[in-house]
Amino acid sequence: MREFNIGIIGLGNIGLEVYKNIKKNSSDIKKKTGFKLNILKVSAKNLRKKRGIKIPNKLLEKNYLEIIKNPKINIVVELIGGADGIAKKVVFESIKNKKHVVTANKALIAKHGDQLSILAEKNGVNLLFEAAVGGGIPIIRSIKQGLIANKLHHIYGILNGTTNYILTEMEKRNLNFKDVLKDAQKLGYAEANPTADVDGHDAAAKISILSSIGFGTKIINNGFLVEGIRKIEIEDIKFAKDLGYKIKLLAISERLGRYIKQRAHPCLIPINLDVANIDNVTNAIVVDGNPIGRTIYEGPGAGKGPTSSAVISDITSIMLGNDEFSFGLSPSAKKNVHLFNFNNHVSKYYIRFLTKDVPGVLSTITSNLAKNKISVANLIQEPSNNGNANVMLITHFSKESNIQKVLKNLNKQKKLFKKIVMIRVRDLKKL
């Protein structure tokens, strides 16, 4: 029986789970693939760390470079994380040494994926990263293989479980952002440094990957709109609900002729739409294409179990001889990107003004909107509290550049406005 040998570099929660599940399910993997899968070596920053399981000493390798150079190892599994540093070196050097690579590292792929895919093709090896997007949802393989006969034009959804959990709990428990974030950190849903999640960078990296695969373009890893959820307060969630919406952090990419319109930011979504009701750490991804139409993929977007499942899926795909292009097509066939100018974006907008309760506030708001050709669809004024009042409104469809002019002007008037929050409205008839 043919055997495949792997080396795992990184023994955090994910790496350890991959190790355990391969050991636990080795007989099933053998039955389904016809090959025996061996873990030949594992490496971590601290091999002496207590991990709750006994790993034989013969498997432990202090120097990760020895795994990369080992002629008996067919597949290197990188589970360190981070766009650069050791993780980058591991993946680049593994490919140069003609090792297949499996990774869950969305930051690395979003930043270096184009270069790595060229290198992988040159060296005749696979670079697979199903676990980088959607956790246990097989979204990458679905787009690359299941939808191969389709021309895709729209990919969007909830791609970050941490922010979805925070927004869900803020609504359910009537808590502010900071308190829910602390709970998320205690539960392991958020890192000690939550910047990548709550500031939108994680979702942005994931939509960059999906957009490249779905539209056959080079990766867009900068220059597009990225906003997080730190500014959202319980008042916004309440007012959104009163107006028939829920707030979600969405990652969105659209093909508009020769342009790609890509972004990641909070949105107000009509409460009766599918994605609006995806709560907690669950992810949901919508893919629109021709001829298939609209497809929805929903499932656990993070966690050691779902992520390890995706990693092992990639390993077994290599074992079965599935010679895959990393992004669904040869790197030489990927098109250059023309990024849509987001100043030309047209949307409805939710704006909340925390104002001083003095005469002339509403007229200042409405006159500035009118000067920039923005009309109001809904307006709510909250009764005065301690000399301050909230004014909430939703505009009719307006141009992004005009909205930004209004916000810039009103933010200067600190005597009237203590805080201004703007969230774009994702007001689609269907998702």
Cα–chain center distance at 65: 30
Mean pLDDT of the 289-313 span: 91
Measured CA to CA, the distance from residue 84 to residue 369 in angstroms comes to 45
Catalytic-role residue among 88, 99, 206, 248: 206
Residue 320 has pLDDT above 60, yes or no: yes
- Alpha helix stretches (DSSP H) within 188-255: 195-198, 201-215, 234-242
User: Across 18-87, where does the E strand assignment appear?
Assistant: 36-43, 75-78
Mean pLDDT of the chain: 93
Q: Is the predicted pLDDT of residue 10 greater than 70, yes or no? A: yes
Handedness of CA 137, 140, 146, 149 (dihedral sign): positive
| Per-residue confidence band for 190, with pLDDT thresholds at 50, 70 and 90 | confident
pLDDT score of 429: 44
Please state whether the peptide bond connecting residue 291 to the residue before it is cis, i.e. omega within 30 degrees of 0. yes
pTM of the model: 0.94
Annotation marks residue 206 as catalytic: yes
Q: What percent of the chain has pLDDT over 70?
A: 99
pLDDT of residue 51: 79
- The whole-angstrom separation of Cα 65 and Cα 90 is 8
pLDDT tens string 197-242: 999 999 999 999 999 999 999 999 999 999 999 999 999 999 999 9
Q: Mean pLDDT over residues 53-64, rounded?
A: 91
Q: Sorting pLDDT into bands at 50, 70 and 90, what band is 304? A: confident
At 323, the pLDDT band (50, 70, 90 cuts) reads: confident
pLDDT of residue 395: 96
Average pLDDT over residues 168-181: 95
Q: Note the pLDDT tens digit of each residue in 332-341.
A: 999 999 999 9
**Residues 377-422: pLDDT tens digits?**
999 888 767 888 899 999 999 999 999 999 999 999 888 888 999 9
| pLDDT tens digits, one per residue of 140-164 | 999 999 999 999 999 999 999 999 9
pLDDT score at 316: 95
For 321, other C-beta atoms within 10 Å of its C-beta total 9
Region 160-181: what's the mean pLDDT? Answer: 95
Kind of pairing, strands 417-425 and 259-270? parallel
The number of angstroms, rounded, from the C-alpha of 391 to the middle of its chain's C-alpha atoms is 32
Q: Would you state the pLDDT for residue 187?
A: 85
CB-based burial label for 193 (10 Å; 0-12, 13-18, 19+): exposed
Give the domains, in start order, of the chain with CATH numbers: 3-132 (3.40.50.720), 139-299+327-333 (3.30.360.10), 343-425 (3.30.70.260)
Report whether pLDDT(255) > 60: yes
**Quick one: average pLDDT of 349-371?**
91
pLDDT > 70? residue 431:
no
Buried b (16+ CB within 10 A) or exposed e, 118-146: bbbbeeebbbbbbbbbbbbbbbbbbbbee
Mean pLDDT of 283-309: 92
> Mean of the pLDDT values across residues 281-310?
92
pLDDT reported for residue 165: 95
What mean pLDDT do residues 169-193 have? Answer: 91
Amino acid identity, position 4? F
Position 430 scores a pLDDT of: 35
Helix (H) or strand (E) holding 35: none
Q: What pLDDT does 1 receive?
A: 58
Nearest partner of 301 among 181, 199, 160, judged by Cα: 160
Interval 119-131 mean pLDDT: 96
